Amino acid sequence: MPFRISVDTGGTFTDVVVTDAAGRFTIGKALTDRQRAFASIEAGLAVAAAQLGTAAAALLADTAMFLYGTTRATNGIVERKTARTAFLTTAGFPDILLLKEGGKAEPHNLQMEYPDPYIPRRYTFEVPERINAEGGVESVLDETAVRRVLETFPRRGIEAVAVCLLWSIANPAHELRVGELIAKILPKLPFTLSHQLNPILREYRRASSTAIDASLKPLMQKYLSDLETDLRRAGYANDILVSTSFGGVMHLADVVKRPIYLVKSGPAMAPIAGLAYVEAEGLPNNVIVCDAGGTTFDVSLVRDGAVEYSRDTWLGPQWTGDNLGMASVAVHSIGAGGGSIAWVDSGGLLRVGPQSAGSEPGPACYGRGGDYPTVTDAAVVLGYFDPAHFLGGRMTLDEAAARRVIKGVADALGQTLERAAWAVVAVASENMIQAIKELTINEGIDPSDSALIGGGGAGGLNIVPIAQELGCRTVLGPRTAGALSASGMQFSDIITEAGASKLTASDDFDFAGVNRALVDIENRLEEFADRLRARGFKDLEKRYFVEARYRFQVWELEINVPGSRFANQAQIEALVHEFHRVHERVFAVHDENNAVEFLNWRGRLIAKVNAPTLEPTKALATREAAPDRMRRCYFGNAQVDTAIYLGDKLPVGAIVNGPAIIEEDTSTLVIYPGAIARVSPGGRYLVTPPQENQR
Amino acid sequence: MNVKQTPPPTREFDPILMAVLANRLNAIVREMANTLLKTARSAVLAVVRDFSCSIVTGDNRLLCPGEGLPVHIFGSSLQSQSMCDLHDDLAPGDAFLHNDPYLGNTHPADHMIMVPVFIDGVHLFTTCAKAHQADCGNSIPSTYHAYAKDIYEEGALIFPCVRVQKNFQDVNDIIRMCKRRIRVPEQWYGDYLAEIGSARIGERRLIELTKRYGIETIQAFTEQWLSYSERRMVDAIKKMAPGKLSNTTVYDPLPPILPDGLPIRVDIAVDPTAGYIDVDLTHNADNMAFGLNESVACATSNAMCGVFNCMDPDVPHNAGSFARVRVHLRDGCITGVPKFPHSVSMATTNIGDRIVNVTQAAFAAIGDGHGLAEGAIGMGAGAGVISGLDWRRDGPFINQEWLITNGGPATPTTDGWLNYGLPVAAGLMYRGSVEVDESKYPILVKHLRVIAGGGGAGRFRGAPGSELVYGPRHDPMTVVISCDGQVNPPQGVRGGHAGPPAATYKLKRDGSAEKLPGVVECRLEPGEWVQGFDAGGGGYGSPLERDPARVCRDVLERWETVPRAHDIYGVVLTGSADDDSLAVDVNATAARREVLAR
């Protein structure tokens, strides 16, 4: 069982990465099939298998682990193409999702449209019941009223139900009963109960996660179960692990119950790859990771050697987007990529995106009926993509089609064909630069302190001018750039969490109660651990955390808990000391005289997956560096003779001076005039942008 | 060790670095705000964010207001100025407590903490954290004392910029004074620590920033950034038509002091040639023996806020752009300058809110596309200060609720913002959470829902408010409410309708409802409830010009009602919202609108 397969299904391409026992990476890429994920996986696998001298079926049969990520859930939310979901809420409180938590950006800008709630108000239904803060019943659940509401659902075309009642976290009885009634009256309707999904205080956040989770269930449960069926049918018998927004992977059977974890699945893996690469290269550990696919451009960060997380995750803008209600890897996405469509607006201004030609029909040069000018078509006109050598020669591009559609843009702008193509790439770059600035400069992070990683099939097209504009001194181009997120999965751990609520305080610590909660968490993690051990995972680690606050505070800080049992007062004092220390570090003050309250206890099981080693292969060191051929490419104002190199023929230490193009099977790295690329000992490209424009 | 700053060198500044540093300051202020939010203990701070953080230069020019509440921000530099004037021995490790409204503060309930930031012995910045306290030692259990005839009756403890930390340690004399007089002292001390933490985090980050880029670069940036901001403001004013505008709004009656209410007038002069806007508030009544007088900081901030609400929002907000708006006040005037010992207990809101409204609505007279309608006013039941005993903790509680919605004003291009709060907060404050409020205070919220048809009609409509009912659970509770907008609701502009007025009721055990006056101290027994209706924002333009498709969608999504669509908007609908079949009858609508237009 030497192989591990990771797959990332994006909006346009499906990336497949296969690693063998020696840690060698083989990449396959295929256009994404919107109907059935496995169709494109199979196509990508076939490409990889051919390189390994085998067939897809044989490869699958010889694979120990299958890792999977997809942007399907995120795209569904962004495009509002999730299920028609009903929101059941406590009577008297219909507007929790509409009012959110208040707050807005731009103090003096009142000319902003107030955002729509995640679930329209016409699909919001009030349930007569009320529980109070201590879990007491203020008014009993009116089951007849619930039945009456549920019975209207088939007629109204409701496809999923989100149930979030006030104080269900203190007493879940009413939510559970509503769940039973749904299961009984509408047995096929998927639903989510807020206290089971995300037992946190604050009705908006809990309701929002519940609404998002429920709305994804019909779509993602079918999607993932189809994938599993197809994989089993194709002869794969081992673990299927799915990448989650926590930056780890989970077993498919676990994630299918909680599709909210699939938000940012895939893109959350790109910074994991970025971290692995800079560590292997010994580069400074601040990295901006860009991943440009066909449809979206994702930016994520590694700061001081750690992947950047956001505790407060908004899908869309802060305050006015939809709150995920839980932490996730910080990923900023915009609609920009190889498939982005270029158009000229009514004022004569050239615009690129956010509309994308996707994979069906795709850019005009794909020859699948696409008739819109895209960034990829512009790259063909400029000579960066060689029609005969695209995707390692497996796909022939229709150059005439590319020239035809870009000609339309050129005519509208009154420019030459090449100038227009150059402008399309420049405008796309500008959009990407803005996206990077939002995550860096807007947070006060100077991008010139970081290395830039250009990932994605279209990432290498313009990563050098982007770096130049941002003042980044180093661009790292991994040879696996074409499949960055899928590569990241190869380095990711299996992460599972379990939690329990137990409120106690340092001045009256409930040893028995806390230990019961910790035992419960430990048992649940152990169940997981047993299954993982049975599957051959040996390197398991459990960590414990607690959310704590000073008495009367409202928000909690998370601190480490050293073990899973408390036996004596000295341990409590150590925990309180740790809280004071963390509070002082994060907030610059602590309060020695105040009791500390402990609320939510959490355990995390981390199963180390044997990540591939990232040593250079010896074969690379012996080859000669010579261009494969010369081509005429256009850079800004003229056609120039440009050396085209094949990536797998470039030895370690080779220097490539721009203008040049390095072709990999699944990506293309354009070295602009004045830039210099060097092949690192790790076999990656380190590009220095043109110096004269450096700050 | 107060060393004078050396004048910074002038040189061309790298535009990318300028953007990096300007955003870095914003990020520092955001981190200060996050610290205050996450560590505070009263819900008015920890949940609702009734506080603001800012960075002022060592020579007292507002450099970065972050996304603080406009009413809190414009005056930060007045307070840092008094710190420099009163103390010639500023040193690292100092922190000052300042809530004196006659020395630049907004009103006594806002406790400002200021930390002078020293780098290489130079006082380069002052970090400011201003927070509305749950209690400030007033003679009544509310931080808002409408009927206080002077500062003595008001009763707040006043700190005219006193040193509250030396060498990073509390000056315990001051802490003990506060703990003796402020209700629920442990809550106050926690909130105080949150403010100190916020100012200290800002101090740490500014020191790191200056070490990273060097003192000269930072000083050069400061000058360039302020002059860039001023240039942007001049450019914005140069695009406006010259002219004089005058507008009046009427504050609700407040018997016996204001039996007929109080007109609030503003006169504005726009001078595009010179690049200045002058706002004159001097034609208003003299100070009165109540708590509604404006402080200098509030009057200036609120007039500025009304102006900036009508300008390009991309103009940076700092001392550079503020220099181009001149606000004229008069000694002994109700809209500032207050004559001691007149009380300014409620300067941040009530009349303050009216100043924002009257100013932004004045600009609508320029023509279509200009100005804004009036936004909802009044801190009704949802913003009441509740106090009493919590049997669950066997102790007292006090806090200002923030479960109001108060609809925002319609604009020339959009409907009003729903979570508006007040003109002086402009949607920036967070909402209270029903669950957090019920866990921290012994209340039960019966319902909270947005009112259908609750916004002023117009081509763009004002946002609706919400209706709220809550009450005590086991023990009696006092609610102090200081509402406006119950008699004179927010006005529409350019043919837009006024929003509905606010209202407060006491719901008794026998099921009857008693209408309460705007300003009231109300005691509720268990089984009794207080009910509040928010005001809605005013509309912009005639409702007959509103896109019928938008009206249809409003009804479908419960913003509007079928009768209002028919009677006010002249839109005839067919089908039903219950089965998604609602649609506009185009011909009937055209006919109906013709009738209404006559």
The answer to whether residue B542 scores a pLDDT higher than 80 is yes
CB atoms within 10 A of CB B413: 13
pTM, rounded to two decimals: 0.89
Partner A contacted by B69 (CB < 8 A): yes
CB atoms within 10 A of CB B563: 9
Partner A contacted by B28 (CB < 8 A): yes
Partner A contacted by B175 (CB < 8 A): no
Mean pLDDT throughout B249-256? Answer: 95
Contact (CB<8Å) B419/A104: yes
Is residue B375 within 8 A of residue B366, CB to CB? The reply is no
Provide the edge-to-edge strand list for the sheet that holds B477-482. B395-400, B385-390, B477-482, B519-524
Query: Residue B362: inside a domain, yes or no?
Result: no
Q: Can you read off the two tokens belonging to residue B184?
A: 């629920």
pLDDT of residue A442: 67
Instruction: Sort out which chain B residues have CB atoms less than 8 A from A102's CB and list them.
Output: 48, 419, 421, 427, 429-431
Cβ partners under 8 Å of residue A250, min gap 6:
A241, A242, A244, A261, A494, A495, A496
Partner A contacted by B20 (CB < 8 A): yes
Partner A contacted by B414 (CB < 8 A): yes
b/e sequence A596-622, b meaning 16+ C-beta within 10 Å: bbbebbbbbbbbebeebebebeeebee
Instruction: Let me know whether B159 and B120 are in one domain.
Output: yes
For residue B68, what are the CA distances in angstroms to A192, A508, B191, B424? 37, 39, 17, 11
CB atoms within 10 A of CB A690: 16
Interface confidence, given as ipTM, is: 0.93
Cβ partners under 8 Å of residue B275, min gap 6:
B233, B234, B237, B238, B324
Instruction: Sort out which chain A residues have CB atoms less than 8 A from B17's CB and list them.
Output: 695
Mutation target among B49, B62, B433, B507 for the A interface, most CBs of A within 10 A: B433
For residue B252, what are the CA distances in angstroms to A359, B47, B482, B518, B527? 62, 30, 11, 8, 31
**Angle of the A37-51 helix axis to the A203-233 helix axis, nearest 10:** 50
Name the pairing type of β-strands A660-663 and A668-671: antiparallel
Classify the phi-psi angles of A403: left when phi > 0, otherwise alpha if psi is within -120 to 50, otherwise beta: alpha
Instruction: Let me know whether B72 and B98 are in one domain.
Output: yes
Strands (E), A102-159: 124-127, 130-131, 137-139
Predicted confidence (pLDDT) per residue in A219-241, tens digit: 999 999 999 999 999 999 988 99
Long-range contacts of A617-623 (CB under 8 A, 24+ apart): A617/A24, A617/A683, A620/A650, A620/A651, A620/A652, A620/A679, A620/A683, A621/A651, A621/A652, A622/A651, A623/A649, A623/A650, A623/A651
Residues facing residue B328 across a β-bridge: B280
Note the helical H segments in B116-184. 151-154, 172-181
Of B46, B67, B311, the CB nearest to A553: B46
Is residue A264 within 8 A of residue A72, CB to CB? The reply is no
Share of chain B above pLDDT 90, in %: 85
Instruction: Sort out which chain B residues have CB atoms less than 8 A from A433's CB and list them.
Output: none
Q: How far apart, in whole angstroms, are the C-alpha atoms of residue A178 and residue A637? A: 68
For residue A615, what are the CA distances in angstroms to A611, A622, A652, B315? 12, 15, 12, 52
For residue B226, what are the CA distances in angstroms to A672, B23, B59, B317, B324? 38, 14, 13, 9, 12
Domain end, chosen from B229, B259, B292, is at B229
Contact (CB<8Å) A554/B43: yes
Of A203, A550, A587, the CB nearest to B433: A203
Partner A contacted by B183 (CB < 8 A): no
Q: How far apart, in whole angstroms, are the C-alpha atoms of residue B282 and residue B535? A: 28
- The one-letter amino acid code at B341 reads P
Query: Residue B312: inside a domain, yes or no?
Result: no
Residues facing residue B529 across a β-bridge: B507
Look at residue B495 and give its three-state secondary structure.
coil
The answer to whether residue B216 scores a pLDDT higher than 90 is yes
Weakly modelled stretches of chain A, pLDDT under 70: 1, 311, 346-347, 442-444, 613-624, 691-695
Instruction: Sort out which chain A residues have CB atoms less than 8 A from B201's CB and list them.
Output: 587-588
Backbone angles phi, psi at A335, to 5 degrees: -80, 90
The answer to whether residue B5 scores a pLDDT higher than 60 is no
For residue A285, what are the CA distances in angstroms to A274, A304, A307, A415? 10, 5, 10, 43
Q: How far apart, in whole angstroms, are the C-alpha atoms of residue A259 and residue A224? A: 10
Whether the CA torsion A129, A132, A134, A137 is positive or negative: it is negative
Instruction: Let me know whether B431 and B566 are in one domain.
Output: no
Give the residue with greater pLDDT, B12 vs A292: A292
Backbone angles phi, psi at A621, to 5 degrees: -70, -15
For residue A191, what are the CA distances in angstroms to A74, A259, B398, B429? 19, 12, 40, 33
Query: Residue B156: inside a domain, yes or no?
Result: yes
pLDDT of residue A93: 98
Instruction: Sort out which chain B residues have CB atoms less than 8 A from A597's CB and list them.
Output: none
Q: Return the CA Rg of chain A.
A: 27
Report the gap between the CA of A116 and the closest CA in chain B (Å).
10
Total number of domains in chain B: 3
Mutation target among B12, B23, B203 for the A interface, most CBs of A within 10 A: B23
Is residue B143 within 8 A of residue B53, CB to CB? The reply is no
Query: Residue B290: inside a domain, yes or no?
Result: no
Predicted confidence (pLDDT) per residue in A172-227, tens digit: 999 999 999 999 999 999 999 999 888 888 999 999 999 999 999 999 999 999 99
Query: Residue B531: inside a domain, yes or no?
Result: yes
Give the residue with greater pLDDT, B474 vs A556: B474
Instruction: Let me know whether B515 and B583 are in one domain.
Output: no
pLDDT-derived band of residue B3, with 50, 70 and 90 as boundaries? very low
Instruction: Let me know whether B453 and B591 are in one domain.
Output: no
Instruction: Let me know whether B466 and B580 are in one domain.
Output: no
Size of the A and B interface in Cβ pairs below 8 Å: 200
Q: Which one, of B410, B592, B590, lies nearest residue B494 by Cα? A: B410
Second-level CATH architecture of A3-77+222-262: 2-Layer Sandwich (3.30)
Instruction: Sort out which chain A residues have CB atoms less than 8 A from B308's CB and list them.
Output: 107-108
Which of 117-156 (B) contact A at CB < 8 A? Answer: none
Instruction: Let me know whether B52 and B160 are in one domain.
Output: yes
Q: Which one, of A342, A550, A308, lies nearest residue A450 by Cα? A: A308
Partner A contacted by B576 (CB < 8 A): no
pLDDT of residue A346: 67
Instruction: Let me know whether B58 and B156 are in one domain.
Output: yes
Instruction: Let me know whether B411 and B395 are in one domain.
Output: yes
Strands (E), B283-414: 325-328, 385-390, 395-400
Q: Which one, of A692, A695, A663, A689, lies nearest residue A676 by Cα? A: A689
Poorest-confidence range of A380-389, A434-443, B76-85, B437-446? Answer: A434-443
Report the gap between the CA of A146 and the closest CA in chain B (Å).
17
At residue A477's C-alpha, the angle toward residues A474 and A480, to 5°, is 160
Is residue B466 within 8 A of residue B474, CB to CB? The reply is no
The answer to whether residue B7 scores a pLDDT higher than 50 is no
Instruction: Sort out which chain A residues have CB atoms less than 8 A from B190's CB and list them.
Output: 550, 552-553, 591, 594
Which of 541-560 (B) contact A at CB < 8 A? Answer: 556-558
Is residue A542 within 8 A of residue A525, CB to CB? The reply is yes
Partner A contacted by B288 (CB < 8 A): no
Of A93, A110, A588, the CB nearest to B447: A93
b/e sequence A209-234, b meaning 16+ C-beta within 10 Å: bbbbbbbbbbbbeebbeebbebbeeb
Instruction: Let me know whether B573 and B443 are in one domain.
Output: no
- Parent domain of B435: 372-543
Domain boundaries, chain A: 3-77+222-262, 83-216, 340-427, 494-607
Report the CATH number of the A494-607 domain. Answer: 3.30.1490
Instruction: Let me know whether B531 and B555 are in one domain.
Output: no
Mutation target among A87, A90, A101, A108 for the B interface, most CBs of B within 10 A: A108
Of B190, B429, B433, the CB nearest to A552: B190
Partner A contacted by B447 (CB < 8 A): yes
For residue B546, what are the CA distances in angstroms to B542, B551, B552? 7, 7, 11
Domain end, chosen from B229, B251, B285, is at B229
Give the residue with greater pLDDT, B297 vs B18: B297
Q: How far apart, in whole angstroms, are the C-alpha atoms of residue A59 and residue A51? A: 11
Domain end, chosen from B527, B543, B559, is at B543
Mutation target among A318, A589, A591, A597 for the B interface, most CBs of B within 10 A: A589
Instruction: Sort out which chain B residues have CB atoms less than 8 A from A430's CB and list them.
Output: none
Contact (CB<8Å) B449/A92: yes
Whether the CA torsion B373, B378, B382, B385 is positive or negative: it is positive
Q: Which one, of B569, B573, B555, lies nearest residue A120 by Cα? A: B555
Q: Nearest-CA residue of chain A relative to B392?
A: A134
Instruction: Let me know whether B149 and B225 are in one domain.
Output: yes
pLDDT of residue B570: 97
Poorest-confidence range of A55-59, B70-74, B529-533? Answer: B70-74
pLDDT of residue B15: 66
Q: Which one, of A217, A115, A213, lies nearest residue A164 by Cα? A: A213
Predicted confidence (pLDDT) per residue in B417-435, tens digit: 999 999 999 899 899 899 9
Report the gap between the CA of B514 and the closest CA in chain A (Å).
21
